[in-house]
Amino acid sequence: QVRVVESGGGLVQAGQSLRLSCVASGLNFNLSAMSWYRQAPGQQRELVARITTGSSTDYGDSVKGRFTISRDNAKNTVYLQMNSLKPEDTAVYYCRTGWATGYWGHGTQVTVSA
């Protein structure tokens, strides 16, 4: 079955960086777009970034210019490099297979202190 596992979350101060990783197994990773979403307490889950099989990318407006999504097909891994973090980036970050729908991971907590 498909398994999606995120890692790399933590507690950082505003202005610092974090890199999240997501390993997907049980599917042909090379043929799957991958997406990152986030959900803050009391808010809806929102798109952060997504990447096609050809490494074209799409970003949510609030993270453009600060976050970068990339993929390593040899490792079945997608990354989210997060720079210039802000307290409003605090959320649980979820990885998902696919561009518009797919399998979800359980999430990793990112907390940014002021």
Residues 6 or more apart whose CB falls under 8 angstroms from that of 87 comprise 14, 112, 113, 114
Over residues 64-90, the pLDDT tens digits come to 999 999 999 999 999 999 999 999 999
Over residues 18-32, the pLDDT tens digits come to 999 999 999 999 999
Computed from CA positions of residues 80, 86, 90, 91, in that sequence, does the dihedral angle turn out positive or negative? negative
Over residues 4-23, the pLDDT tens digits come to 999 999 999 999 999 999 99
pLDDT, position 99: 85
| Mean pLDDT value across residues 97-103 | 90
Classify strands 10-13 and 108-113 as parallel, antiparallel or unpaired.
parallel
Over residues 42-71, the pLDDT tens digits come to 999 999 999 999 999 999 999 999 999 999
